Homo-oligomer: A and B are copies of this chain.
Amino acid sequence: MASDLVAGVDLGGTSMLCVVADAAGRVLAEASADTLRGKGYEPVVDQVLEILEHAANLAGTRVSDLEALGVGPAGSVDPETGVVHVAPNLGWNEVPLGAVLRKRTGLTTAIDNDVHVALRGEHAFGAAKGAESAVAIWVGTGIGGAIILGNELWLGNRGSAGEIGHMVLDPKGPKCGCGRRGCAEAFASRTAMERDVREAIKHGHKSHVLHLMKKHHKERMTSSVIERALKKNDKVMKRVLRDAQERIGDLAGNVINTLDPEVVVVGGGIAERFGEKFVAPIRKRALSRLLNQAKLETIRIVPSKLGAYSGALGACVLARKRLAAGAGAGVRHRR
């Protein structure tokens, strides 16, 4: 018997989270796992099925009684075919994730990238609720983006709209992971911040960051490390974070000068952890960059509201959208 419940999976390179939710976005159950990396996609698909089954059971139902499944992997995805083209953090290339999951679950399955689904989540139930237009700026390992216009995700001509992390903010800026120079991501992602901290230390500036990473067994400068460093009043960390906030502010300003959306949602690990404290300097800088200085109070530049749940809940929204559009594999939901 159908349950009117759907499941959504936030599929990251470090961990995955599955929620089972009703149409109002209430989470009835959840399950998570640390993502198995470097062994191809099959073991990861097994993990997704395990946490899906676990969450369904916790919600008092079975996978086969769910209405649909949505998944948001971190990477470049074709939502029409369900193929994950490239997912660097998962180590994937051309993985037909949608088809595999559909086959193994028997469910209508929809796939889109992590930031697209996160913005869908924030738009349906979180920081962008009620907004007709919204832009997501997701700051993590890289900087991802997504755009909602007229209440619909704007995917663009080739399905690659929203790649605002690769907006050039200075063509002579630092080298980016994409091979170019001066992308927003190369200035202000967590990876870029860690590079700048290491660089400062190499130049003789004192910082607790490397010590904190070692002490807490972190290979990377995670947002928890950033928080601990700031608590110790780490000058290098403060300066690097402030510089990143200015660049994200420039990025947000560029996006608003271009699209003039109602809401800009800033998400990702640092935004989740620090909320308004992270976003306030970004907002200040962004607003200062706007040509039109009228009605600034109508622009909301805010931290994500669903925190760790935006991706999984957004995947639920995507699943329901696919249901509404018809369950076929080749459904176009590009605008």
A residues apposed to B, CB below 8 Å = 76, 132-133, 145, 147, 149-150, 154-172, 178, 180, 246, 250, 253-255, 257-262, 288-292, 294-295, 298-299, 335
Contact = CB atoms under 8 A, between A and B. Distances in A.
A163 B257 contact: yes
A258 B261 CA distance: 13
Given A157-B298, A158-B298, A166 B260 contact: no
A288 B178 CA distance: 11
Nearest to A255: B258
A291 B178 contact: yes
- Protomer copies: 2
A259 B169 contact: no
Among A159, A168, A178, the one with the most B-chain Cβ atoms within 10 Å of its Cβ is A168
A165 B254 CA distance: 10
A289 B161 contact: no
A257 B167 contact: yes
A246 B182 CA distance: 14
20 contacts: A133-B157, A149-B149, A150-B335, A157-B299, A159-B260, A160-B257, A160-B260, A161-B260, A164-B257, A164-B258, A166-B257, A166-B289, A166-B291, A168-B253, A169-B169, A169-B171, A178-B291, A180-B288, A255-B258, A258-B259
A271 to B, nearest CB: 20
Given A259-B156, A335-B150, A163 B291 contact: yes
Given A157-B262, A160-B292, A178-B291, 6 more contacts: A76-B292, A147-B258, A156-B260, A157-B298, A161-B258, A166-B290
